[in-house]
Structures are given as structure tokens and as C-alpha cells.
Structure 1
Amino acid sequence: MKTLRILLVDDDEDDRRFFSDALNGLDMNTKLEQVEDGQSCIDFLKEHKEEAPNLIFLDLNMPVMDGFECLEEIRKMEDHKDTIIAIYSTSSSEQDIEDTFNKGANIYLNKPTTFPDLKNALKQVITTNWTYHTNDFKKENFLLKI
């Protein structure tokens, strides 16, 4: 099975560690890279074209370049127009959900507060058949319910 390359973009070190531990607990064939802000994400994508991520988990509230700006920049990049982007945020604002949907994110995930919920959410996102999901893309399917 091919390794799924995942990029986590989050400025909170504890959240990155929590995410990494949950992902490792899934025992799936993944490789996780991590950056701390949107600008670092854009730089990473430009520098790693050969090993580009298949899936990006993107926090919204970050310094330097926030998740909204980063999402727009990623969608402008020819190599990443179809990269799966999961918004990974503490915000449950309807406006944030609407804005990220309109800017081209594939799914919106509120950061779970428990380890089992995070593992379950990651498993759902990772095992989604994105070809089918993006062909039948509706706003009702955008917010992942845990």
C-alpha cells in the first residue's frame, strides 16, 4: 500500500503532538510532516514538489499567515488545486465554515478534545474515498461530525 503523505499546519505545539500521537495510534501507512504557520506551509509545498502531501490538515488561527490566506494560496498553486485540505480548527463559527468551504477546503473538522475522538476523526478523514466525495461535494458533507 502506498504511503499517505500528510502535512499538519498548526502553530500550537501541544496540538501538533496530540495529532501526531493519534495518527501513530491508527497503525496506518502514513508519513507526517509538520509546519507552524501558513507561510511555512506554502514554502514547504514549493520546496517538496516531488514528495508533496496527499492531505493537508490546516489550522485557521496562526501567526504570519493564517489558515484562510494559506488555503487561498494553496488553491492558486497549479500542483495543489486538487490536494485534499481538511480544516482543523477550534473554531465552530458558521462564518469560518462558510468561508473555508467557499475557498475550496474539502472538509471541516473541529479539533476534538479527547484522544479517542481525534483518532476516530483522523481515521474518517484518511479513509474517505475523496474521488467520490469531491464528485458529490455538498456543503452538508463539509463539516465532519464526531
Structure 2
Amino acid sequence: MKSIVVACSNCGTKNRIPADKQHLGPKCGKCKAPLSLSAAAVPVELDDSTFSGFTSRASKPVLVDFFSPTCGPCRLLAPTIDTMARKFYGRVIIAKLDTSRNHITAAQYRIKGVPTLLFFKNGKLVDQVTGALPEQELTRLLEEFAE
């Protein structure tokens, strides 16, 4: 499980935040001040055991990137997905799921090609896009999705 280390802007203490908890409004362990993660946010890594619960309980819209590490277009899209996690922090939760290791969820959503992006609101699938989108197009989609 990935984690992020963020220094508190109030007291300077370094705080380790699990990536899958970054959207829950973390606070400094020492002074309890809210931590700003907008510059450090990363996509949440999901798997077959965490996907359903995470997307259904998320307090914000969720974008899930279904990818494979051996897929060329997926590797091209990965830096854009990382950028979107920071750019939309606090508005949209960006997550990813490796289809080569998580066949059950990929089959459940009938993922035939990667990269495929699924958009969830209130636990329900609301949109799906297949292919590596340019950063401007993905930004436009996420702006609409975040409303």
C-alpha cells in the first residue's frame, strides 16, 4: 500500500498518510492542523477486494483508470493520471486498477481494452471512456464530472 509523506505547514512535522485515506481530510498527528495534500496527492491503488467498497463509500466522485503495466497507451496515460490526482484533489478521487492482476473487477465491468476510464458518482457508474485521452480532454471531462 502506497503512502504519502507530507510536512505540516503549521508545525513542520512530517506525516505519513496512506494513499487510500488521502481524500478523508487528514490532520497533523502532532498539532491536529489540516494537511494540504494538493501537491502530493497520488492515485489510489485499488484491487478486486477493495474496489466495490471504495467506489460505493466515496464521498466524492471517483475516476478509476483500468490499466495494464504492459500496455503502451496505458504507460503514456499514467503521468496524466498522476497529474489529475493532484489537480483535482478535494474534488474528484483518482484511482487505478491493474487489470492484469484484478480479473474479477475487470470482467464485472466488461473491460475489453485498456486504458479504460470509469467515472463513478454516489457509487454508481455514470460514464466510461476507452483509450488514452490527451491531458486537455481529460481535464475537460473531469471539470464536468466534478460539478
Q: Which structure has the larger Rg? A: 2
More strand as a share of residues? 2
Q: Please give the TM-score of this superposition, normalised by the length of structure 1.
A: 0.36
More helix as a share of residues? 1
Q: Please give the TM-score of this superposition, normalised by the length of structure 2.
A: 0.36
